[in-house]
Each structure stands twice: as structure tokens, then as C-alpha cells.
Amino acid sequence: MGYDIERFVGYVNEGLLCCVCRDVLEDPLQAPCEHAFCSSCIHGWLVHHHNCPEDRQPLEGALLRPLFRYMRNDLSRLQIRCRNREQGCGMVCSLESVDRHERECEYGLVACTNAGCPIQVERRSLEAHVAACEFRSRECPHGCGYTMLTCEDSQHSCVAELRTELELLRSEMICKVEEVRHEMESRLDSQRRHMVQKESLLKSEVEELKGQLSRVMSDVRALLGAERLHRQELEQAELEKRELLELLKSLQREGRSHTPSPAPPPGSAPEGLRKTGGARGLTLDCIKRKSREVTVI
Ligand SMILES: [Zn+2]
Ligand SMILES: [Zn+2]
Ligand SMILES: [Zn+2]
Ligand SMILES: [Zn+2]
Ligand SMILES: [Zn+2]
């Protein structure tokens, strides 16, 4: 939609009017037939038509071009009143700068900056409104720390507020305690499991050591038995050796007195005497027999 022609000061050339809305061109575009339109007006027209609204010549969106430069210049130099004239703004400026003015016009309506406030006020009185706005928030003057809207003033009770806060803190604390308890329990559980595993490991090691010990003990017992046997054998052998030596000596004595046969070289025993072990008993008998024969002779 174009600018209301009533807002303009002075004469406005017919060529600067939109062929659709008949107001002064806003964001103008031009057809090949040189008719000009507001951008929104012609695009709206072309949704249902395929021609120029002025002379019905065929037309589609792709054929639209910017307005001739001299027309754009004429347009931007037109003098227009601020749209807030009825509110009291007396501003008249060129069309090219009116948007900038209206964005900052003191008579323009703006929304209150307090969240939740539905009121729109003129920019020049915004500050005063915000200061008195019932949606402005402030901290409780009695020191409970609650930030409240001015409209809540009458219903506010510090005690109730503090009680709610306390409840909140209490439930938060209960949650935290519960969390910590859970964590401790799970930690203890895992430690307990670990201990049980370790205990069974130690038990099996002890069992194994016991087994090894009993094997070693039985080995020791066997060795002791063997040693005792060995010692007995040695004692027996010693005894027999002594007996044989006695016998040998007596044989030599008797031999020397009957037959002058040469004595065996010292250190060499008769053949039978060199035998050991089980043959020893046999040798002893043989020697005794010989000694009797010698005695008879
Ligand atoms: Zn228009
Ligand atoms: Zn045309
Ligand atoms: Zn203004
Ligand atoms: Zn407000
Ligand atoms: Zn309070």
C-alpha cells in the first residue's frame, strides 16, 4: 500500500501515484508499459491477473523493473507529514527521510519494556510509564529477598515466601543426602564384593600350602626312615668288619705257627673278604670253616 496522498505538502505529480491503490508509490516497480505500482500492490494483483491493471497489457512478475531514476528522485523529494501528526508531531520531511524520523518520533507508540505489560505509550512518555508501571519488578522492601512485581505488593507475605523458600531448600537437601547415601552404599557394596573375592583366594592359597607342607613332611619322614636303616647297616658292617679283622689276625697267628707260608701284603685282604653286602655272611662262614681246618692240621 502506498502513502496516503493527504499527508503530502504541495503538488504531487500524477505519475508518482500507484495504478492499483491510487496513493503515492511505496517501494515502486515499473511495468514495460511504463505504468508504476507499489511493490506490494502489483504483486498482490498478479496473483489473480496476468496483465497491467491500467491498460490490460500482458504482464508477469519477472518483467517488473525499478522505477526510472528521475521518477525516483522526484518521489524522494516529496514533502510528507509525520504519520503521528494527529498525536501532535508537526514534523514535515522528505519522503526519503520520513522512515528514519518515524522510527524515532517522540509521538510514536512503543510497547512498555516490562515483561507482561500490555500497554503501549508514546515514546516521549515511556520513561514515566516504566517508573510507575505495575509490571516493574523490585526486591521486597522487607528484606526477604523475593523479587516481585508492583501489582503483587498487596498479596506478598514475607513469611509465606520464606516458608516456600525453606521447603525448597529442605527438599533439595533431602535429595542431596539421598544421593550421597546411594553413592556410599554402592561403594561399600563393591568393596564388600572385593573382600569376599580376596578371602576365597586366600583360602585356596592356604589349602594349597597345607598340601605342599604335608607332602614335604612325608618326604622328610621317608628320608629319616632311610637314614635310620642306613645307619643300622653301617653299624652292622662295622661290627662284621671288626669280627673279621679279629678272625684274620687269629688266622695269621695260627698260620705262622704251622705252615711258613708268606703273609699277604699289608692292606690286601683275602679274596672272600673283598666281597661286600649280602656275600659278607657267606664269606664269614667260609673263613670260619678254614680256620677250623687249620686248627685240625
Ligand atoms: Zn499502490
Ligand atoms: Zn500499463
Ligand atoms: Zn513525528
Ligand atoms: Zn508497563
Ligand atoms: Zn518480603
Least confident of 31-45, 51-65, 143-157, 203-217: 143-157
The pLDDT confidence band at residue 280, using thresholds 50, 70 and 90, is low
Q: Compute the distance from residue 40 Cα to the ligand 1 centre, in Å.
A: 7
Q: Compute the distance from residue 156 Cα to the ligand 4 centre, in Å.
A: 20
Matching residue, cell 517501494: 27
Q: Which ligand is nearest to the CA of 142?
A: 5
Q: Compute the distance from residue 123 Cα to the ligand 4 centre, in Å.
A: 12
So what's the pLDDT on residue 257? Answer: 80
List, for residues 84-126, the tens digit of each pLDDT value: 999 999 999 999 999 999 999 999 999 999 888 999 999 999 9
Q: Compute the distance from residue 211 Cα to the ligand 1 centre, in Å.
A: 110
Q: Compute the distance from residue 71 Cα to the ligand 1 centre, in Å.
A: 16
Closest to 54 (Cα-Cα) out of 27, 33, 71, 26: 33
Q: Which ligand is nearest to the CA of 18?
A: 1
Average pLDDT over the chain reads 88
Q: Compute the distance from residue 80 Cα to the ligand 3 centre, in Å.
A: 11
List, for residues 129-150, the tens digit of each pLDDT value: 998 888 888 788 888 877 877 7
So what's the pLDDT on residue 256? Answer: 83
In this predicted structure, the answer to whether residue 264 has a pLDDT above a threshold of 60 is no
In this predicted structure, the answer to whether residue 68 has a pLDDT above a threshold of 50 is yes
Q: Which ligand is nearest to the CA of 141?
A: 5
Q: Compute the distance from residue 243 Cα to the ligand 4 centre, in Å.
A: 139
**For ion ligand 3, residues whose CB falls within 5 Å:** 82, 84, 89, 91, 105
Q: Report pTM.
A: 0.49
The pLDDT confidence band at residue 276, using thresholds 50, 70 and 90, is very low
So what's the pLDDT on residue 288? Answer: 66
Q: Compute the distance from residue 280 Cα to the ligand 5 centre, in Å.
A: 123
Q: Compute the distance from residue 262 Cα to the ligand 1 centre, in Å.
A: 167
The domains found in the chain, sorted by start residue, are 5-104 (3.30.40.10), 110-155 (3.30.40)
In this predicted structure, the answer to whether residue 247 has a pLDDT above a threshold of 50 is yes
